[in-house]
Amino acid sequence: MPADAKLAKLQSGFAAYLLRGDPAVAGALRPDLPAGRLTVYRNTVMGSLATVLGHAHPTLHRVLGGQRFTMLACRFAAEAPPRLPMLWSYGAGFADWLAAADLAASELTIEIPPWAPDLARLDWAMHEALFAADAEPLDLARLAAIPLEQAGSLRLAPHPSLRLVRSGWTIHALWKDGDTVPAPLPEAVLIGRSPDDGGDGTVGGEVRCIRLTAADGALAATLLSGATLDEAVGSLIAGDETAGAETVAGADLQSLLALLLQNRLLAGFALDRPPSLTGREGNDP
């Protein structure tokens, strides 16, 4: 066996033990040392991954309780271990895994509440927002300079940290207070890092978590996917195809724009208009 292939086989076997408890690698150990020592490494790997997932999903961890969360996190880690040696980026798939997990046939008899995947999405959106790229907030003076008749052709450029989580449960209340019993009512949560000058020239920033009505959430989804203001208003009238007419009824474009601007969650805009010699305007980030 080539040299690297032999080492690769040993390392694959070690990984199989760490993730799934496959004991075959014990045969490669120094015989005078108890093979039970392997558990030290398995406990470190699984325990620290559960801790990492808990840090990225603090609300879900708090609401489910440490023991229940850790059991689910270890199961997820065994099925979907990290691919990158940057643990802050680990856990993007946890919410979807919770939504799809079929634990009925496993030894893990843990009930996953129906709102848990969306709460995990909210936690993850806040986590991602904290590490998202920096960008200057939209210059309001430039926005104000747009002639009123052209305002409808504005397309908004969200701050890189901006996330929208739409849920069938009242997860925002659960985020605010872990003792709340979530209700099966649709809503949306807007998440983003509000840029903040740290005062000494460094970039700070606080992650905001703002509840929207389901209707405003549908409107926000339209705007953040690149629709012009006119197109977004059109969706209000016609009924958004993806969201359904009943969910956009009652949406308030003006309030939503004010909220995005007040929280400095926009990074720029583009202005659609017929081609001209001066080209496209705006301050794209």
Partner 1 sequence: MAAAACSPLPRLVPVATGIGLREPHREAFVAAGSPIPWVEIHPENYLVPGGPRLAGILRVRRDRPVSCHGVGLSLGSADGLDPDHLMRLRALYDRLDPGLISEHLSWSVTDAIYLNDLLPLPYTEDSLVRVRRNIDHAQDAFGRRILVENPAACLAFADSTIPEAEFLAELAARTGCGLLLDVNNLYVSSINLGFDPAAWLDAIPADAVGELHLAGHARMTVGGEELLIDDHGSVVGDAVMALYADVLDRIGPRPVLIEWDNDLPPLDGLLAEAGKAQRLLDARMRQAEMPAKIPEVHCAG
Task: State the binding string over 134-163 for partner 1 (x if CB under 8 A, else -).
Answer: xx------------------------xx--
Tokens encoding 48 = 């620290």
| Residue 182 is a binding residue for partner 1 (CB under 8 A) | no
Q: How far apart are CA 116 and CA 195, in angstroms?
A: 29
Number of residues forming the site for partner 1 (CB under 8 A): 53
Q: Which is nearer to partner 1, 43 or 255 (CB)?
A: 43
Binding partner 1 (rule: CB under 8 A), the pick from 23, 131, 142, 225 is 131
Q: Are 165 and 171 in contact (CB under 8 A)?
A: yes
| Residue 5 is a binding residue for partner 1 (CB under 8 A) | yes
The residue type at 103: L
| Residue 244 is a binding residue for partner 1 (CB under 8 A) | no
Binding partner 1 (rule: CB under 8 A), the pick from 92, 108, 133, 238 is 133
Footprint of partner 1 on residues 82-111 (CB under 8 A)?
82-88
Q: Are 9 and 1 in contact (CB under 8 A)?
A: yes
Binding partner 1 (rule: CB under 8 A), the pick from 24, 58, 130, 218 is 130
Task: State the binding string over 158-177 for partner 1 (x if CB under 8 A, else -).
Answer: --xx----------------
Burial class (CB in 10 A: 0-12, 13-18, 19+), 100: exposed
- φ, ψ of residue 48 to 5 degrees: the values are -75, -30
Q: Which is nearer to partner 1, 203 or 238 (CB)?
A: 203
Q: How far apart are CA 229 and CA 142, in angstroms?
A: 17
Tokens encoding 100 = 């799809």
A 10 A CB-CB count for 22 gives 14
Q: Is 154 helix (H, G, I), strand (E, B) or coil?
A: strand
Q: Which is nearer to partner 1, 17 or 115 (CB)?
A: 17
| Residue 28 is a binding residue for partner 1 (CB under 8 A) | yes
Cα 29-34-36 angle, rounded to 5 deg: 95
User: Given the rule CB under 8 A, which residues bind partner 1?
Assistant: 3-8, 10-12, 14-15, 18-19, 28-31, 33-34, 36-41, 44-45, 48-49, 52, 81-88, 130-135, 160-161, 193, 198, 200, 202-205
